[in-house]
Structure 1
Amino acid sequence: MTAVPTRRERQRQATFDEIVDVARRLLRDGEDVSVRAVAQEMGLTPPALYRYVDSHAELMVRVARSIFEDVVATMTTARDAQAPDDPAAQIVASAAAFRTWALTNRHEFQLVFASATSTAPEDGSAPEPLVMTSLDACLPEESGVKLFGAFFSEIFGRLWVKYQFDIPADADLDPELLEVLRGEIKAPEVTDALGGPTPGAPTPGMIWMFERAWSRLYGTVTLEVFGHVHPAFISTGALFGATMLDIGRELSIEGEWPRLQAIARAQY
């Protein structure tokens, strides 16, 4: 039986929520997201705020988790609008929803997906890294990065089960890369009737395909967010569409592109 939070616990959680909400609003407005700035917005002193967060780095991790939860919720809505047995439509709709979110929330995208460092802590110490160039990269796990990565990897596994696209065998991968990829594979929690991994369970080759697809999607969206391509490429969705078609060719879904393109455009 789950214990009912006490009044003090509810009040403390409400303050945590307000801290994150205020920090995200400052971030969206392009303002300084320091402990001092957040405290001032809340009518508190910095020492009072430090009763809730131990450091600026912890504040940024809480903000990052809130952002990731919102991104995943947005993508979940797009995914669930498609048939559950249509992973091609689900992954395209989710990717397009991610792009639209990124273009609409540029400052928040920059914080969790494209910042080399976070805002420098007020104590003068070195800034904590907040960067994600891979779905399983550098953010602390409690920031929510795993939640984001798991969302896409689950659909990707079902996509392979349905389309059986070619994936590199271990012998085809560079030995150093193979070692890295093997390190990314966790022990399977579920096995099939013969005791083997479930269909669509990750292999080094599958993880490599996944990372390559993600790098193309991430790279294209990042270029669009920061306006490093022609504005018409962004407004028409032409660059994103071409990128998704390139990915689709490797995943054996290019034959369905007219249908999938319409699904993607519905998210623009």
Structure 2
Amino acid sequence: MVNVRRERYREETKTEAKRIALEQLAEQGIAGISVNAIAKRMGVTGPALYRYFAGRDDLLNELIRDAWHDLADTVEATVTASEGASPPDRVRAFAEGFRSWAVTQPHRYLLLFGTPLPGYHAPQDTVLAAHRTMSALLVVLPREGFATAGQSTLDAQLAGWAGARGEGDVPPAVLLTAVRAFTRLHGVLSLEVSGQFGPMGIDPALLYRAEVESLILGDSGVRGSTRLSGPG
């Protein structure tokens, strides 16, 4: 029973520390996260909090890991809810889930996709957590309508990347489509969450949806594919 209480207290302490760290992130960016400042707000000493986090990088690892899994949970839920819909509608569902998560918590989006913190290197398990979002995109992409992949260097790189993450059965042409689609959606979202469209007088939601439609209609220039919606 003592061990159970101790573990509960440990988890509650870590949860509170991460909550404050996210507030720091929202207010000051990633450089503003300070373990000592968090400890002060919690009414404990810095060394006491280091019993739960080895240092700021350890805390960042947890924040990044949590964010990747939260993002993946969101897009996976939208993809699951779209089962039975047409491929274009499933692509739209993924895209809307992706954007919804980003715009409701832009500080966490920028934690994942913003300027890297100098000297920080994410551990391998956060990289694997990140792949869950790409896997959700691969689920909604049709397998038909793509030309047979060649044996280019890029094909081999895509196959190696996917194979290492359990996606070895996905054709390289589909992998390329997914990577390029993700890149384009991320590009619009990154500009939106950093406030770049405000001075232009452009509604970023409309621009984002226009980008989604252009992907579905197939102007992404992917080899052998005319559209993300599949043949027809």
Distance 1:83-1:189 versus aligned 2 partners, 3 A rule: closer
Shift of 1:170: 2.0
Q: Given residue 227 of structure 1, which amino acid in structure 2 is its aligned partner?
A: G
Distance 1:254-1:169 versus aligned 2 partners, 3 A rule: closer
Calculate percent identity across the aligned residue pairs: 27
- Give the equivalent residue in structure 2 for 1:266: none
- Residues 25-49 of structure 1: per-residue CA shift (max 9 Å, x gap): 2222337211111111211111111
Alignment counterpart, residue 159 of structure 2, candidates 182, 185, 197: 182
- Give the equivalent residue in structure 2 for 1:106: 106
- Residues 221-265 of structure 1: per-residue CA shift (max 9 Å, x gap): 111111223554335x22112211121123442999xxxxxxxxx
Matches within 5 A, 1:236-247: 237-247=205-215
Shift of 1:74: 2.8
- Residues 174-221 of structure 1: per-residue CA shift (max 9 Å, x gap): x3x23422321326979xxxxxx7xxx223322222111111011111
DSSP 3-state at the match of 2:142 = helix
The reply on whether 1:141 has 2:110 as its aligned counterpart is no
How far apart, in 2, do the equivalents of 1:246 and 1:252 lie? 9
Distance 1:167-1:16 versus aligned 2 partners, 3 A rule: farther
Q: Is the CA contact 1:79–1:93 (under 8 Å) kept in the aligned structure 2?
A: yes
How far apart, in 2, do the equivalents of 1:9 and 1:153 lie? 33
More helix by share: 2
DSSP 3-state at the match of 2:141 = helix
Q: Given residue 70 of structure 1, which amino acid in structure 2 is its aligned partner?
A: D
Matches within 5 A, 1:162-241: 164-167=144-147, 169-171=149-151, 173=152, 175=153, 177-186=154-163, 201-229=169-197, 231-235=200-204, 237-241=205-209
DSSP 3-state at the match of 1:170 = coil
Give the structure-2-normalised TM-score.
0.79
Give the structure-1-normalised TM-score.
0.70
The root-mean-square deviation of aligned C-alpha atoms, in Å, is 2.9
Number of equivalent positions: 219
- Unmatched runs of 5 consecutive residues or more in structure 2: 219-226
Distance 1:203-1:82 versus aligned 2 partners, 3 A rule: closer
Distance 1:13-1:96 versus aligned 2 partners, 3 A rule: same
Matches within 5 A, 1:73-92: 73-84=73-84, 86-92=86-92
Q: Is the CA contact 2:78–2:94 (under 8 Å) kept in the aligned structure 1?
A: yes
